[in-house]
Amino acid sequence: MPLDEAFFVVFNSCVIMDRRGSKDRRPSAPKRSHYERSNRSEFREESLVIYGRHPVLEALRKGLVQEIEIHDAAHGSVIKEIEREAAHHSVPCFRRTFESEADSGTRQGVRAQINPVVARSDLLEFTDELNLSAAPLLLMLDGIEDPHNFGAILRSAYVVGVSGVVIRSRRQAPLTNTVFKTSAGAAALIPIFEVPNLEHVLRLLKPKGWWAISTVMDDSAIDYHDCDWNRPTILIMGAEGKGVSDLLVKRSDDLISIPMHDRLDSLNVSVAAGILLFEAFNLKLTQKGK
């Protein structure tokens, strides 16, 4: 997805109004088509909504979308693809006029109500299906308890194409509304796996060819620019203050750090994650000659 295509998440508290003005929490399905014009008001109460053409299209392909609204003036190849995918997945798709930019949330003129998203538990099956020769990147979060940091990290991870994010089941920010909103929709689109023991994951994946890298503030760590990102990598980020746990550091193959002009205690963890993820992303682009 192009980096300049922003997308957002909002939580609405309005109910649906049909054309007769009566309140109904669920819009009636179109009789002949999943695509029609409508002047209905907002999506149903407390719905999770994502905005933007490519995010909506990807959410459709993942089977997450319940309903779509497209601005009357929105056209183009991606809009046509959204309409085709909506019909293919039997997802209601409505044309309407957004009253304002605040109402539409984006100049791209597309929004979708999506299903609630929960963390997955099939990490081993998922990694077995990845092409290791393509040097996939997993992001492991060791106790990120601030939901804003968690959401910001998910946003960066999705944009650079991280294969999946691994979190632990305890002492970790859960997938709350705040996380979804801060992630700008990425929490609904990137695979997130919850496991009881992060160290156990390393013991299972490393023999399969994965390389574990912990981010630390330590003089023995190498500069992140000198890290070899061209291999199946598990990048481990720890919470601010606590950092990566000693057990995960011990299990790591490399320790890396971010050099700073004027060293403070540490960078914000979401900022540090963004720096490292984009370094890995840029290296892959360079190797592909882009």
- For the chain, the domains span 9-114, 123-287
pTM over 0.75: no
Cα 231 to its chain centre, rounded Å, is 22
CA distance linking residue 60 with residue 176, whole number of Å: 22
CA distance linking residue 269 with residue 271, whole number of Å: 5
Give the chain's length. 290
Measured N-to-C along each axis, helices 269-287 and 147-159 cross at an angle, to the nearest 10 degrees, of 10
CA distance linking residue 267 with residue 287, whole number of Å: 28
**What is the fold of 123-287?**
Alpha/beta knot (3.40.1280)
pLDDT tens for the chain, 290 residues long, are 444 444 434 333 333 333 334 444 444 444 434 444 444 445 544 467 788 888 888 888 888 888 999 988 888 899 999 999 999 999 999 888 876 555 545 557 888 888 877 899 999 999 999 999 999 999 999 999 999 999 999 999 999 999 999 999 988 998 887 888 788 788 888 999 999 999 999 999 999 999 999 998 777 888 888 888 889 999 999 987 788 999 999 999 999 988 776 655 567 899 999 999 999 888 776 665 55
Say which residues have a Cβ less than 8 Å from residue 267's Cβ, sequence separation at least 6. 258, 260, 275
Tokens 């997938």, residue located:
175
Q: What is the CATH number of domain 9-114?
A: 3.30.1330.30
CA distance linking residue 15 with residue 33, whole number of Å: 23
